[in-house]
Homo-oligomer: A and B are copies of this chain.
Amino acid sequence: MTPRNLKTTTDGTTNPSGQADARVTRGERTRQALIDAAFLEIHLNGYRAASLSDILSAANCTKGSLYHHFPDKHALGLAAVSEKVDAFIEANWLIPLATTNDPLTTIREIIQRHVAGEIMDDPRLGCPVQNISQEMSPLDEDFREYLNDVFNRWINAISDALTRGIKAGNVCNTVDPHGMAIVIVATHQGMVSLIKTAQNPEVGNKSAPSFFNLLETLRPKTLPPKNTRLTPDNDAPNKATS
């Protein structure tokens, strides 16, 4: 049934003639156009209200073309969401968190960039992960499983970073990394949600400092950081000291 695997595989094995990237098999281009248009539509209107006709006209292709690449709307939506969301979470959270051993600073910086509007295109549209998980979790097990997996990867990345922060002496060792990671994700999502409802990013500016103050209470009370240089008077400010 599925004429192609979901992920964009760039294996040009069937093409022994020469350059593989310049042609990218016309079909691959329309497939990508469909993914892009579908994600935008879903982000704007939600999955159920996303109209195939609108997606088609945005992607500048037709029904037959769509149903050649995807078995149904469900597969198109899942492919669009997963490809875009994976890339987003990876770039904005997982990678910055993977190496830091001062997670409280890293997290504050990421959230600060969110609040400042440097990450999301339009804060009034909300976070796609949240929009779609809110809509689809009770309705579709495939969407729910994927989005829950996204949240788990996200939470685990924060939890691992907090554990590393504890070892490095940048986080108080009484902190429960996993529980606190959930709280951090929840607060971030909740703030984005309130900004969306208020249609006004000022809500973020007013509340973020209070949250950052809360995060700062998680630092060790007694000793200064052990073997990491938080205030670098030399080189290499925050390379992972694994």
B197 near A144: Cβ-Cβ < 8 Å: yes
CB distance from A207 to the nearest CB of B (A): 4
Copy total for this chain: 2
Judge whether B198 and A183 touch: CB under 8 Å. Answer: no
Q: How far apart sit A123 and B188, CA to CA, in the bound complex (Å)?
A: 20
Within 8 A of B (CB), among A196-242: 196-199, 203, 206-211, 214, 217
The size bracket of the interface on A is: 35 or more
Contacts of A194 in B (CB 8 A): 151, 182, 185-186, 189
Scan residues 167-184 of chain A and give those whose CB is less than 8 A from a CB of chain B: 175-176, 178-180, 182-183
Q: Is A138 an interface residue (CB 8 A)?
A: yes
Contact at B199–A144, with CB atoms within 8 Å? yes
A183→B196 contact, CB < 8 A: no
For residue A134, CB closer than 8 A to chain B, the reply is yes
Chain B residue at smallest Cβ distance from A198: B148
Which residues of A are in contact with B by a Cβ distance under 8 Å?
44-46, 48-49, 124-126, 130-131, 133-135, 137-139, 144, 147-148, 151, 175-176, 178-180, 182-183, 185-191, 193-194, 196-199, 203, 206-211, 214, 217
